[in-house]
Chain A
Amino acid sequence: MLHIVACIKQVPDTKIIKMNPKTNTMDRASAPAILNPYDAHAVEEAVRLKKRYGGTVSVLTMGPPPAVKAIKKCIEIGADEGYMISDRAFAGADTLATSYALTKAIEKISKIKPVDLIICGKMTIDGDTGQVGPGIARRLDMPPLTSVNKVKEINLEEGYAVVHRKLEDGYEVIQSTMPCLMSVEKEINEVPYSSMTNMLKAARYQPVIWAVADLEDVERSQLGLKGSPTIVSKVWAPTKPSGGEMLEGDAAAQTGQLLNILLEKKELFAVKGGSGVEL
């Protein structure tokens, strides 16, 4: 029986987030917290694999207390258990410190029940680095399988998994020993509406919550801000084209103007390997 741990994160909804034009900072209050959309696919894939092969899906998050809501969302999707690590000592973690803390939690979970597979989302929509998954894999000495868009086969007896890994112009079929870690693309599945049973279960569900003191063999110096080699030194709003120039006149006049503008940037058209005309 498979035991899958899906790592999930609560994030501000970047579609709704607003910038304060005066201070150039994010108006966090404007953004509702949601389950990272990529992680919904990670949990859904775990649930599908459970249905295919039998087993248990646990979800794990590191975050402040309100992140319990994101775990509940995963229970709605069909996860069985939820674990959260929450402590001030985790605050300010970059991907290296995040993967360290999550690894410590996974080690504890695997004492409750050995872990065969870890599934992460491709990335988050706030930090969007995509680095946490491979980080966890390295720390647990598992092969990291990133950009997975199909799980073809899992053979727990013989201890291997076969997946499709998305490339820029196609995909590759990879066989890996298990346990392993996959970070999955959105296209791997569609997350359906939750069943009423799961929604009711989620409403009542209380995850296991651990503080640093509940984890074992933790080097505190590797946690949170202290354990983070990267620091965000400056934040600013990118200059977006705020509605550029509208070209005037009839169709021929407009296209004529556009042509002139583009031809001034002639170097653009000597495209290597393109079928374009070299000027």
Chain B
Amino acid sequence: MSFEDYSGIWVFIEVKDGEVVPVSLELLGAGRELADKRGTELAGVLIGENVTHLADTVFEYGADTVYVYDHAIFKNYRTESYMKALLECCEKYKPEVILYGATSTGKDLASAVATDLPTGLTADSTILDIEEDTGLLLASRPAFGGNIMATILCKKYRPQMATVRPKVMKALTPEPGRTGRLVEEKTSLKEDDIRTKVLEIVQHTTKKVRIDEADIIVAGGKGLGSANGFQLVHDLAETLGGAVGASRDVVEAGWVEHHHQVGQTGVTVTPKIYFAIGISGAIQHIVGMQNSSLIIAINNDPEAAIFQSSHYGIVGDAFEIVPLLIQQFKQAFNQEVVDHV
């Protein structure tokens, strides 16, 4: 394998409901930095049906080139069809690095592609860097349930691949009108080549909460006493434009649905602000939210473990503290709006 043949940083562009998912935009931001440091180009690989127009977004968020596979066979994500397209693209243009969002789709695709290439794949990275002269990708990731961080290298194979957790990289501010090179690829794939079929896609009917993508999460625990008491969490979340999170005990009590659950058996989240209200701080909860940028705990027990894992703590009764906070926030927001008018 001659490494000189491989160049360019690629991002797999994941599309959901006709839009580029946020983590792909974040990866374009991270990829731009790597590409600039390495003095090479940044490309997006866009696969789907009726997706070509999304290339504009990919350019605006920093890509120089977009490779597009736009065909009915790619209507829904399926491992085999997407994998074959990506493998073919790799074969043809030989990228040095490919990044994928660590989503259910990104992880599934990356694992399959890595095996076929074959090459190394670093899972769930949270820090990326690249050696300027050698092009060696330094991908760091949490392991052992978040107990350690490890830097993983892939010295002998190209491309180097990593999945990257949502919300840890920063998207660039889009530059409207920024454009690049659009390369439309054909596919020879036939429906008979693919051994799986998507029969149905079922989305949760409740208000769409993607807590793994939220910037602000207000999470509540058993300390709120009842479904009624838990309403406080909804209220603060609404005031701040955030999503609602919950501990497992709350989900088991039936106050909210499972997809709000944060933790080991729930969702891993990395918002910019995480409120933990009436949550004791069991390790299974902590592992799901410990990478949030700013953690604020409100609990009436000064000994609660959650204070060990938070940046700011308030000891007090949630039923006193949270309404005050809502009131003060509303005031402050109005104030700011008035100031700007």
Indicate, yes or no, whether A interacts with B: yes
Residues of A within 8 A of B (CB): 12, 14-15, 17, 19, 26, 94-96, 99, 125-131, 133-135, 137-139, 143-147, 162, 165-177, 180, 186-187, 228-238, 240-247, 251-252, 254-256, 258-259, 261-263, 265, 268-269, 271, 274-277, 279
| A residues less than 8 Å from B93 (CB atoms) | none
Pick the contact of A176 from B119, B195, B201, B336 — CB < 8 Å? B195
Q: Given A169-B208, A244-B313, A259-B329, are A144 and B200 also a contact pair (CB < 8 Å)? A: no
Contact status A275-B238, CB under 8 Å:
yes
Pick the contact of B76 from A95, A172, A233 — CB < 8 Å? A172
Give chain B interface residues in 201-229, CB to chain A under 8 Å. 201-204, 208-210, 212-213, 215-216
B145 contacts A by Cβ under 8 Å:
yes
Contact status B242-A274, CB under 8 Å:
yes
Contact status B203-A169, CB under 8 Å:
yes
Give chain B interface residues in 115-153, CB to chain A under 8 Å. 115-116, 118-124, 138, 140, 142-153
Number of interface residues of B (CB under 8 A): 93
Contact status B147-A134, CB under 8 Å:
no
Task: State how many angstroms separate the Cβ of B128 from the closest Cβ of chain A.
Answer: 14
| B residues less than 8 Å from A255 (CB atoms) | 314, 321, 324-325, 328
Task: State how many angstroms separate the Cβ of A263 from the closest Cβ of chain B.
Answer: 6
- 17 example contacts (A-B, Cβ-Cβ < 8 A) are as follows A19-B148, A96-B115, A129-B121, A129-B123, A131-B110, A131-B114, A144-B111, A146-B108, A147-B108, A231-B152, A234-B140, A241-B310, A247-B312, A255-B321, A265-B294, A274-B241, A279-B340
Task: State how many angstroms separate the Cβ of A17 from the closest Cβ of chain B.
Answer: 6
B3 contacts A by Cβ under 8 Å:
no
| B residues less than 8 Å from A238 (CB atoms) | 142, 146, 148-149
B198 contacts A by Cβ under 8 Å:
yes
Contact status B153-A15, CB under 8 Å:
no
B311 contacts A by Cβ under 8 Å:
yes
| A residues less than 8 Å from B138 (CB atoms) | 233
Complex-state Cα separation, A237 to B143, whole angstroms: 10
